[in-house]
Amino acid sequence: MSRNGPPTVSSATNDVERVKPASRFAVGRLLLEGRAFMALLVVIIVFSILSKNYLTVNNMLTMSSHVAVYALLAMGQLLVILNGGIDLSVGSTLGLSGMVAGFLMQGVRLDAFGVVMYPAVWVVVIASCLVGALVGLVNGVLISRFKVAAFVATLGMLYVVRGFALLMTNGLTYNDLGGRSDLGNTGFDWLGFNRIADVPIGVLVMILVALALSFLLSRAVFGRWLYASGGNERAAELSGVPVKRVKIWVYVASGVCSAIAGLILSSELTSASPTAGTSYELTAIAAVVVGGAALTGGRGNIRGTLLGAFVIGFLSDGLVIIGVSVYWQTVFTGAVIVFAVLLNAIQYRGRRRRNQPGGQPPATTPADHLTEPASEPSGH
């Protein structure tokens, strides 16, 4: 999707140029670069053999709509990870977004006027997204202005946001988000149930978000700023990149993506549970990693992350279809993640071979030791 070379692609081809490997290595390298795609093919082929029902258009679309929720979370997460951060609050934000939608769909009682207001569905959608953006804003400000470690700040928000979601109903679930035609607020289930040209709306939303973010990353100034500040924040800052602003925006974007995922999930279920999305943040991180992004920042793209989400989603749905125990699914998912990280380590190996005696750049390249012939006085 993002054809205009995000770093993984371009630097990879150049690795080939520099190392000038024999052709047999080139095949191995190709498999390594395209591993998420290969993994997806393997998953599809294996399950198609094991079950006749797997490779049908209908099943593919159903599975894709499951994937859409994870993929939306993962794309938001990718932005954060490209920046060199992590967002653990996305699962909770997903839950809160659904609860906000549920709350608004039930009607807002305005005691002062003695009326109950039933906001239109589009208002509900915007309100939920704003809540997601607000969570992201808090994360971003904590991390960029107050220098709280991303892991800690978003871990805290994971609890806070989940707590708010539970507080809204004392832990109860909002059922029946269908709305009533006499109140003029029907249509919420459209997101989760309807299809356009047979494609579930959730999948279409995922595709739209993916296209938008792809263009953002590969063609907009913001994308370049993001890759630069994730690759080397100090250098980016000296090049005039507003690194703090970029950082806040990626968390806001991640919050909005989570909110959209929450809307789709609660619409599919026509109910909003305050515990929805628990531990989804880990699945999202896994999808980003399987998609080849580096947790140190600066490397990764939307295409890889989407593939990562599909690998994880198609694998777990496939295991359900062939009737494998849920517990085995957990084991398989974990194994895929470890394997993906292992391959990442192989791909990026040599880029940070030896620590330099002085400062350590965030992501070093193989040529580091080619560049400082005499690392003479630098410190004080």
Partner 1 sequence: MTGPHNGIVMSARNVVKTYGGTRALKGVDFDIRRGSVTSLFGENGAGKSTLMKILAGVESPTSGEILLDGETVDFSSTVDAREHGISIIHQELSLAPNLSVRDNIFMGREITTPTGVDFGEEARQTAQLMKEMEEEIDPLTLVAALRLGQQQIVEIARALSVDSRILIMDEPTSALSASEVTVLFKRIADLKSRGVAIVYISHHLEEALQVADHAVVLRDGSVTAVAEVRDVDLGWIVRNMVGANFSLGEPPSEEGFGEVALSIEGVSVADAANPTRLVVDNLSLDVKAGEIVCIYGLMGAGRTELLEAVAGRVPITAGRVLLKGADVSHLSIAKRLAKGLGLVPEDRQRDGLVQTMPVGRNLSLASISGLVRGVFLSGALERTLVNESIGTVGVKTTGAEAPIGSLSGGNQQKVVLGKILATRPEVFLLDEPTRGIDVGAKAEVFRLLAAGAAKGLAVLYSTSEVGESLSIAHRIVVMRRGHITAEFGPDATKEEIMAASGEAVAV
Residues that bind partner 1 (CB under 8 A): 4-5, 7, 10-11, 13-15, 17-18, 215, 219-221, 224-225, 227-228, 230-232, 234-242, 294, 297-299, 351, 356-380
Which residue, 164 or 368, has its beta carbon nearer to partner 1?
A: 368
Q: Where are the beta strands (DSSP E) in the chain?
A: 108-110, 115-117, 174-175, 195-196, 199-200, 271-272
Nearer to partner 1, 119 or 361 (CB): 361
Residue linked to tokens 């159903």: 62
Q: Which is nearer to partner 1, 7 or 178 (CB)?
A: 7
Given a contact cutoff of 8 angstroms between Cβ atoms, the answer to whether 201 and 293 are in contact is: no
The minimum distance between CB 235 and partner 1, in angstroms, equals 5
Shortest Cβ 9–partner 1 spacing (Å):
10
Three-state DSSP at 166 gives: helix
* Residue 244 C-beta: closest distance to partner 1, Å: 9
Amino acid letter, residue 220: A
Largest CA distance in the chain: 79
Nearer to partner 1, 56 or 360 (CB): 360
Angle, helices 280-290 vs 302-321, to 10°: value is 120
Quote the CA–CA distance of 234 and 263 in Å, as a whole number: 38
195-196 and 199-200 strand pairing: antiparallel
In angstroms, give the least distance from the CB of 82 to partner 1: 10
Which residues, including other chains, have CB under 8 Å from residue 202's CB and lie 6 or more apart?
Answer: 65, 68, 69, 191, 192, 264, 267, 268
User: Rounded to the nearest whole angstrom, what is the least distance from the CB of residue 153 to partner 1 in the complex?
Assistant: 23
Report the alpha-carbon distance of residue 362 to residue 8 in Å, rounded: 16
Q: Token digits for 63?
A: 């599975």
Which segments of 154-268 are extended strands (E)? 174-175, 195-196, 199-200
Residue (80 or 264) nearer to partner 1, CB: 80
Residues in the chain: 380
Q: Which is nearer to partner 1, 323 or 377 (CB)?
A: 377
Question: How many secondary structure helices (H) and strands (E) does the chain include?
Answer: 16, 6
Nearer to partner 1, 133 or 294 (CB): 294
Q: Which is nearer to partner 1, 78 or 259 (CB)?
A: 78
Contacts of 55 (CB under 8 A, 6+ apart): 44, 47, 48
How many CA atoms lie within 13 Å of 14's alpha carbon, on the beta-carbon side? Answer: 9
Q: 56: which 2 tokens?
A: 């049908």
Minimum distance between the CB of residue 246 and partner 1, rounded to whole angstroms? Answer: 11
Considering the complex, what minimum distance in angstroms separates the CB of residue 76 from partner 1?
21
CB closer to partner 1, 145 vs 234: 234
Residue 162, both tokens? 């989940």
The least distance separating partner 1 from the CB of residue 141, rounded to whole angstroms, comes to: 17
At its nearest, how many Å lie between partner 1 and the CB of residue 1? 15
